[in-house]
Structures are given as C-alpha cells and as structure tokens.
C-alpha cells in the first residue's frame, strides 16, 4: 500500500457503496461503486494511498459499516449529519458520485458535520427502546380506533372512566350487529396483544440494563423509571462526551431556538433537531417532577407560573434545567463517587 495520504467519502446503499478517494490537494483519484463489504471498500481505497479518514452519512445500516471499518480495517471513520450535508451541497442535483465526493472533500478540509458513532451495545439497546415505542404507538392507535368507533355509534359510558375494568365490561356488553361486534373485538384484541408485548419488551429492557452503571445511576434519580433511564442511556450514550449540561440539553432538544436577525432578538420555541423520542421522555419526566414530586423543580415551575409564564413554557424550562443538572450527576466523576460510596 502506498503511503500517500488520501481521504475517503462513502455514499451508502444497501447493495453497494459509492467510494470517492481524494488526495491532499483535492484531486479525485477514484470515484466508483464497490460491493457493500468492508473488505471491498478497503481494497478500493488503499490502492491509492493510506486513508487518513473516511466519512459516510448517518443512515440505516451506515453505523454497522462504520464499525466494521473501524475495528477490522483499522480506519478512522466518521459519521456525517445527513441534514447538514444536504444543506451544504449547494446543488439541486443529487447523484451518488457527487455525494461521495462532497463527503470526502468535507473530511479533507475539516468541515465534516460529525455525529457520534455509538458502540454496538448502545445501538442494540436503542433498537430495543425504539421497538417498545413502536408498540406503544400501535396500542394507542388501536385505542383511538375504538374511541372513533364509539363516536360513530354515538355511544358513551357515563358511569366509568375509560379503560377501567368497569368501562371495559360496559364495552363488551354493548348490543351491536355481528360485523360491528367483530370489529370491536378485533380492536380490543389488538390492545391486549400490544399490552402483553410491551410488558415482554420492558422485561427484556430490565434484563438488558441490569448491570449498566449509567442506568443504575439514572434510576436513582427522582422521577426516573426504567423506560426513561433506558431511553436516556440509548439516545445519549455517554454523558461525559458532552462538555457541559448546556450542550447535553441542546442535544436533547430542550433548549430555546434562537431566531435573531439584525436588531431583532427573539426565541422561536424549542429547537427541533435531535431525537423526538428523547425529548418527549424528558418532557414527561418534567411533568412528573412538577406534579408528583415535591422538589426544587416543582418550586421552579411555581415561580414561573406566578410570573405569568404559560404552562408549556414552565414545563420546558424545568426540562432544560433538569437535563443540565442531570449531566453533573451522571458524568464519569459522579459515577465514580457513587460506586465508591456503594463499596
């Protein structure tokens, strides 16, 4: 292999990878398709020199390929933020050739918008957490269909709260046509089935995180349960990869979005980047801290409400402050202190 330094851009597809190899001056040495295999990529790039780094957009399957290139080919691989890369193209046309070239060039000049490549165990936990979220959404959709069914038939139970045992007994005792009764039974079966699957998934989550010291530290915090702890662990990963709590809060999408221009200084709600699942879990935690736990967070919300702030603004402020406080609690130093006190 030649010792000439080269930079590699990879445009990922499930069946092949477009690979672009640049030298230090930006000259294209190669831009071609190869099999979606780390060995084929390694051979195609190292014919022209020694890779100083490789870049590919973060997408489904890209993390596994990046992990293989890191561990087996001993490459320095970085995942690029797909949204930022798309905005930096400055070209309405999209081609595999151009995408691979752009990634290699951004890496060469040091402008690649990098995202974190999570370890294998974190990616597996993330898939499990997101699978549970999918099941919860399917159960919710089945419940909404039942609600729509009742509205269509103008049926309402005034004696029991929805989804209680009494309400369910009333639901099954309704006098309906054969087809309508069958439809209702199918939707109720869907709700029961998803409930059982959610319990099984949460059981696996509990087993999967039993020996995780970060999850243990999260579970020790007031208002944090298994699902919240597992979601934070899977989406955030290592808390100490953030320099401070402010950066963690921005990653979690619980910070205000600046919309300033010239002399105009304004906020435009919370930022929309990041994981929507992570933000929703944090917002739910903020509600628990405010309404169910008598703590500093409830007092903070009360002060904001008394000052005339809307309720959603108060909840978002508590979520922001809590995440910043949590960073200090769950950093490596905090974990070491917790482990020392246990022993």
Write out the chain's pLDDT in tens, 343 residues: 567 899 999 999 989 999 999 999 999 999 999 999 999 999 999 999 999 999 999 888 899 999 999 999 999 999 998 888 887 777 777 889 999 999 999 999 999 999 899 999 999 999 999 999 999 999 999 999 999 999 999 999 989 999 999 999 999 899 999 999 999 999 999 999 999 999 999 999 999 999 999 999 999 999 999 999 999 999 999 998 999 999 999 999 998 877 666 666 656 677 777 889 999 999 999 999 998 887 789 999 999 999 998 999 999 999 999 999 999 988 855 555 555 555 4
Do 223 and 287 have their domain in common?
yes
Q: How many domains does the chain fold into?
A: 3
For the beta carbon of residue 221, count every other beta carbon within 10 angstroms: 17
Residue 264 bridge partners (DSSP): 261
Residues 221 and 338 in one domain: yes
Q: Is residue 34 a contact partner of residue 116, using CB atoms and an 8 Å limit?
A: no
DSSP letter for each residue of 301-325: HHHHHHTT--HHHHHHHHHHHHHHH
State the pTM of this model. Answer: 0.86
Considering the domain architecture, whether residues 296 and 222 belong to the same structural domain is answered as yes
pLDDT for 1: 54
Residues in the chain, how many?
343
Same domain, yes or no, for 84 and 100?
yes
217 shares its domain with 203: no
CATH code at 103? 3.30.420.40
End of a domain among 208, 243, 271? Answer: 208
Let me know: does 36 contact 125? Beta carbons within 8 Å: no
Structural domain that includes position 274: 213-342
256, 193: one domain? no
The rounded distance, in Å, linking the Cα atoms of 142 and 148 is 10
Element (H, E) at 258: strand 256-258
Q: Give the C-alpha separation, 291 to 239, whole Å.
A: 27
């Amino acid at each position: 292999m030649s010792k000439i330094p080269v930079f590699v851009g990879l445009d990922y597809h499930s069946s092949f990878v477009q690979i672009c190899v640049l030298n230090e001056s930006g000259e294209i040495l190669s831009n071609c398709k190869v099999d979606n295999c780390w060995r084929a990529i390694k051979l195609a790039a190292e014919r022209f020199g020694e890779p100083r780094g490789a870049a590919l957009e973060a997408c489904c399957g890209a993390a596994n390929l990046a992990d293989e290139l890191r561990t087996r080919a001993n490459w320095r691989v970085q995942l690029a933020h797909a949204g930022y890369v798309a905005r930096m193209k400055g070209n309405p046309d999209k081609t595999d050739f151009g995408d691979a070239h752009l990634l290699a060039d951004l890496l060469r000049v040091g402008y690649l918008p990098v995202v974190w490549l999570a370890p294998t165990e974190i990616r597996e936990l993330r898939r499990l957490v997101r699978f549970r979220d999918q099941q919860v959404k399917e159960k919710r959709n089945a419940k909404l269909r039942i609600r729509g069914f009742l509205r269509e038939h103008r049926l309402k139970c005034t004696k029991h709260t929805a989804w209680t045992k009494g309400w369910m007994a009333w639901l099954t005792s309704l006098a309906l046509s054969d087809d309508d009764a069958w439809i209702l039974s199918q939707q109720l079966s869907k709700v029961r089935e998803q409930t059982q699957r959610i319990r099984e998934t949460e059981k696996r989550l509990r087993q999967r995180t039993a020996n995780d010291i970060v999850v243990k530290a999260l579970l020790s915090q007031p208002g944090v349960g298994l699902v919240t702890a597992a979601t934070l662990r899977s989406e955030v990963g290592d808390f100490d990869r953030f320099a401070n709590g402010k950066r963690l809060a921005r990653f979690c999408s619980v910070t205000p979005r600046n919309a300033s221009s010239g002399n105009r200084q304004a906020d435009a709600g919370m930022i929309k980047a990041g994981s929507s699942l992570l933000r929703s879990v944090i917002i739910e935690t903020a509600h628990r801290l405010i309404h169910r736990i008598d703590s500093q967070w409830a007092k903070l919300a009360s002060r904001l409400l008394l000052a005339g702030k809307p309720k959603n603004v108060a909840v978002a402020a508590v979520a922001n402050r809590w995440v910043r406080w949590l960073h200090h609690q769950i950093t490596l130093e905090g974990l070491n202190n917790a482990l020392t006190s246990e022993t």
